[in-house]
Amino acid sequence: MATTKESADALVLFGATGDLAHKKIFDALYDNAKRGDLNVPVIGVAGDDWTIGQLRDRAREGINTFGGGVHDEKAFATLSHALSYIGGDYRHPATFERLAKTLHDAGAKRPAFYLAIPPSLFEMVIESLQTAGIAEGARVIVEKPFGTDLASAQELNRVLHKAFPESSIYRIDHYLGKEPIQNLLYFRFANSFLEPIWNRNYVDCVQVTMAEDFGVQGRGRFYEEVGTLRDVVQNHLLQTVSLLAMEAPNGADAESLRDEKAKVLRAMEPLRPDDFVRGQFEGYRQEDGVAPDSDVETFAAVGLCIDSWRWAGVPFYIRAGKNMPVSATEVRVALKPPPQNVFDERMSADANYVRFRLGPDVVSLAFGIRVKHPGEAFAGDSEELYVMEQTTEDMTAYERLIGDAIAGEALLFAREDEVEAAWEVVDPVLRDHPAAIPYKPGTWGPAEADALLAEGRSWHEPTS
């Protein structure tokens, strides 16, 4: 992708000894090194009193455990040589003075600061970067969760803007770095046959399901703070819907695309409690770090309206949950039936549809159509025209996103107005909502979610 800016000339990784670096970031940097794309020094910063040897071991262990494994020692050596480490308290100016000196010695003038640390530390770190005189000309990379509601997201944006203009802020939503999500965007705007039907005249409803066949995987404490609506709906799934529903951008540059996404997000009507069904899998309350009377949802289903010329009256149903029967993320755009039942047949309501499988293992695109049985009668079956894509784990989301942030390509990062507009959609129901309804692990969540759909419609259940 064409870059809009100069490349950063150093990557500073705050939280280098933490979980995110261990599980995702080192693996992504190693993959970048394998492609020959890791050309900047990587300066790890954290509170632990570690040696660089310990950090290198941790990186190797993280890649072996959570990534594809270290199979290319030359690439790992590139990463090892690029790495250095500053152990120091974020509260002490000396930590940032050492960082400033390290950057100066490396000749770096445009570092990228990756804040892989809790958001509560952002303000302190950003102010210290300014005091140390190293914020100017730099860019900053931040992770989800970007706030816990609209007010806290606005506050985080205020803190970031104290030192960085919006054009230097890269907010990671790793879904945007996924190949199938990019396929979706490409499919919509690289084909002409879709446009005439991609609107309220032909689309009956849109469903997005993100099902995971596992629970909270030891992350009970984290999950208690978020719940499904904050964890994946406000970000990954509303971003997915914005790509599905947006108008054509003027071009493939970051601002044109993000302008159109932001418009759709702003046109989404804020959710009301009746639009939201919450579920909790049985056994969640026994997880480590979970309150014995927790009401946090591990399943969320919402019915959403987009008040725009294109989509007025078309419901968008979004559903996400842990401990579902399968792991699958799927979008299904159901078309209205033909205006007349010429062959006098009983057909399912959504015989015509477009189905995008976004993962995890299979990435595909399929069209639902009716075809006639051979024989005398005008009777037929519902079939799928299946367009299989290769399974594209060619480049992981983090590898792509970190590479883009270093290169200065902002297309796949969420802009301030998008993030805040998405919070505005969910904000009214973050606290004012119905109680979570228990469901059995391995099921599609509480039956109450069916009532969100208008009569004649049902949830589509992706298969594994």
Judged by the rule CB under 6 A, the positions of this chain that interact with ligand BG6 are: 174, 212, 231-232, 360
Q: In terms of Cα–Cα distance, which of 124, 168, 116, 319 is closest to 233?
A: 319
| Angle at CA of residue 253, ends 248 and 257, nearest 5° | 40
Neighbouring C-beta atoms of residue 110, cutoff 10 Å: 19
Q: Residue 242: phi, psi to the nearest 5? A: -65, -35
Instruction: Rank residues 213 and 259 by Cβ distance to ligand BG6 and give the closer one.
Output: 213
Work out how close the CB of 116 gets to ligand BG6 at its nearest, in angstroms, rounded to a whole number.
Answer: 14
Residue 320 contacts residue 459 (beta carbons within 8 Å)? no
Instruction: Rank residues 25 and 232 by Cβ distance to ligand BG6 and give the closer one.
Output: 232
Work out how close the CB of 389 gets to ligand BG6 at its nearest, in angstroms, rounded to a whole number.
Answer: 17
Residue nearest ligand BG6 (C-beta atom): 231
Q: Residues 6 or more apart from 21 whose CB is under 8 A from it? A: 13, 15, 44, 59, 62, 116
Q: Residues 6 or more apart from 116 whose CB is under 8 A from it? A: 13, 14, 15, 16, 18, 20, 21, 25, 143
Instruction: Rank residues 143 and 350 by Cβ distance to ligand BG6 and give the closer one.
Output: 143
Distances (CA, A) of 21 to 62, 75, 163, 427, 455: 8, 18, 24, 30, 47
Instruction: Rank residues 270 and 360 by Cβ distance to ligand BG6 and give the closer one.
Output: 360
Work out how close the CB of 423 gets to ligand BG6 at its nearest, in angstroms, rounded to a whole number.
Answer: 16
Selecting among 236, 373, 433, 460, the annotated active-site residue is 236
Q: Tell how strand 203-211 and strand 380-388 pair up.
A: unpaired
Work out how close the CB of 396 gets to ligand BG6 at its nearest, in angstroms, rounded to a whole number.
Answer: 9
Work out how close the CB of 172 gets to ligand BG6 at its nearest, in angstroms, rounded to a whole number.
Answer: 10
Q: Residues 6 or more apart from 237 whose CB is under 8 A from it? A: 208, 210, 318, 320
Work out how close the CB of 359 gets to ligand BG6 at its nearest, in angstroms, rounded to a whole number.
Answer: 6
Between CA 15 and CA 26 the distance in angstroms is 12
Instruction: Rank residues 178 and 332 by Cβ distance to ligand BG6 and give the closer one.
Output: 178
Active site residue 236: yes
Instruction: Rank residues 212 and 260 by Cβ distance to ligand BG6 and give the closer one.
Output: 212
List, by residue number, the catalytic residues: 236
